[in-house]
Amino acid sequence: MADAMRFSDGEGYEAMMGVWSALIGADFLDWLNVPDGSRWADIGCGNGASTELIVRRTKPTSVEAIDPSSAQLEFARNRHRLGVAKFTLGSAMQLPYPTAAFDAAIMALVIFFVPDPAKGVAELRRVVRPGGTVAAYAWDIEGGGFPYEDVHVAMRSEGAAPILPPHSEVASLVVLTRLWTDAGLLDIETCEILAHRVFPTFDDYWAMAVAAPGIGQVLAKLSDHQLERIRDAVRGSRDSCEMLVQGRAHAVRGRVAI
């Protein structure tokens, strides 16, 4: 069986990806423009980075957040202070919520991890009321939009393929549009969202990149010489000054028919 990404460290995920999620997610929520006082579902909430963003930026009546990792949920519960969100262990493939229970439901950096993305979108649609919003965003991995793409490139040059989400192809705008269309959603729109993050030095960037499960799990199996070559390739001509790194995500939104 092929290796799979493992997300079990909420604090580590926050530094490695939670910051990126918040950077992308802020623009994503502004783009959705869901009215204040809405009922939200955050599907695949992970360590709660996206949930906290919903709470802070949209003034929701309530947020139901669900994830299959108990360790991530523990971190999410501990960070939540306002009492607006409820965290539940469960799967995006079979949501434990009534039909039409929410005004908006999202997947933040999650849809390419869902075993059957089409079924996951159908579940999103089911739990959102008529006229409500169903949306998602995901790294444009196949288009080179992952924030640590240069590490991926260097790894492949050494014959060490990074571990990718099982359905990285669904992050393309074409596939996202098709998924939302096939789910019967209306007024479908897509957009590209860019985020930038400054790392004080290359070493700071490298430490964060190798903390990513799809990278670190592979690098741990390589020889010291291979690891050094990958690091040197990523570093290139960079000196010790700060690094500006860009990530690119694709987003989609649609409305449930009335």
Lowest mean pLDDT among 98-102, 131-135, 243-247: 243-247
Residue by residue, DSSP assigns 96-139 as -S-TT-EEEEEEES-GGGSSSHHHHHHHHHHHEEEEEEEEEEEE
CB-CB contact of 157 with 233 (8 Å): yes
- For 136-172, the pLDDT digits (tens) are 999 999 999 999 999 999 999 999 999 999 999 999 9
- Find the mean pLDDT for residues 109-120: 97
pLDDT of residue 4 exceeding 60: no
Q: What is the pTM of this model?
A: 0.90
Predicted pLDDT of residue 12: 55
From the options 3.90.1170.50, 3.30.1490.20, 3.90.180.10, 3.40.50.150, give the CATH code of 10-144+162-196+247-255: 3.40.50.150
- Find the mean pLDDT for residues 41-66: 95
What are the phi and psi torsion angles at 61 (to 5°)? -70, -40
Predicted pLDDT of residue 91: 96
Predicted pLDDT of residue 16: 61
pLDDT range class, residue 78, cuts 50, 70, 90: very high
Residue where the block lists tokens 């003034």:
59
3-state secondary structure of 63: strand
- Find the mean pLDDT for residues 102-130: 97
pLDDT of residue 46 exceeding 70: yes
CB-CB contact of 130 with 256 (8 Å): yes
CB-CB contact of 100 with 125 (8 Å): no
172 HSE (CA, 13 A, CB side): 7
* Rounded distance between C-alpha atoms, residue 126 and residue 138, angstroms: 21
* Rounded distance between C-alpha atoms, residue 207 and residue 148, angstroms: 11
CB-CB contact of 136 with 191 (8 Å): no
- For 187-235, the pLDDT digits (tens) are 999 999 999 999 999 999 999 898 887 899 899 999 999 999 999 999 9
Predicted pLDDT of residue 11: 55
Between helix 224-235 and helix 202-209 the angle, nearest 10°, is: 130
pLDDT range class, residue 242, cuts 50, 70, 90: confident
Alpha helices in 68-223 (DSSP H): 70-79, 117-127, 149-157, 173-182, 202-209, 213-219
10 Å Cβ neighbour count for 213? Answer: 20
pLDDT range class, residue 239, cuts 50, 70, 90: low
Predicted pLDDT of residue 10: 46
Predicted pLDDT of residue 14: 63
- β-strands 243-255, 85-89 pairing: unpaired
Q: Which two tokens stand for residue 124?
A: 């999103």
Distance of CA 54 to the CA centre of its chain: 14
Question: What letter does residue 162 receive in the DSSP assignment?
Answer: P
